[in-house]
Amino acid sequence: ETGVTQSPTHLIKTRGQQVTLRCSSQSGHNTVSWYQQALGQGPQFIFQYYREEENGRGNFPPRFSGLQFPNYSSELNVNALELDDSALYLCASSFPGAFSTDTQYFGPGTRLTVL
């Protein structure tokens, strides 16, 4: 187990609604990244937070927004949901270091279905 937790595990919403997904990072990790994984695809980077600041963003529209709290947990908010937002949303935590083996550890994900 990575120690990264996400809630909820599953969620069903309708088009136009808003959703908030939550992530608790592994103890000692100060960086949280969010990814979207559509069916049959690899995960795609949404954004990353480092010490409560956004530290990089992928090719996602502004209706995808995030937040990181002082305890390094994080939220992903998606406004005006579209059918194509149906996916597995993965949170990954990490601690930037000097080693090439440093990497990101994923939580179990939240499966979002938009009807």
> How many residues interact with another protein (rule CB under 8 A)?
34
In the complex with another protein, which residue's Cβ is closer, 18 or 49? 49
Q: Does residue number 60 form part of the binding site for another protein (CB under 8 A)?
A: no
84 SS3 class: helix
Q: Which of 28, 42, 62, 70 binds another protein (CB under 8 A)?
A: 42
Tell me the closest approach of the beta carbon of residue 94 to another protein, in angstroms: 4
73 SS3 class: coil
Calpha distance 101→38 (Å, rounded): 27
Structure tokens, 91:
């949170």
Identify which range of 14-22, 31-39, 61-69, 71-79 contacts another protein by CB under 8 A. 31-39
Single-letter code of the amino acid located at 54: E
Q: Does residue number 94 form part of the binding site for another protein (CB under 8 A)?
A: yes
Q: Does residue number 43 form part of the binding site for another protein (CB under 8 A)?
A: yes
Using alpha carbons, select from 22, 4, 19, 8 the residue that is nearest to residue 80: 19
CA distances to 1, 5, 62, 83 from 79, in Å: 31, 23, 9, 12
Question: Site residues (CB under 8 A) for another protein?
Answer: 2, 31, 33, 35, 40-45, 48, 50, 55-56, 58, 90, 92, 94-109, 111
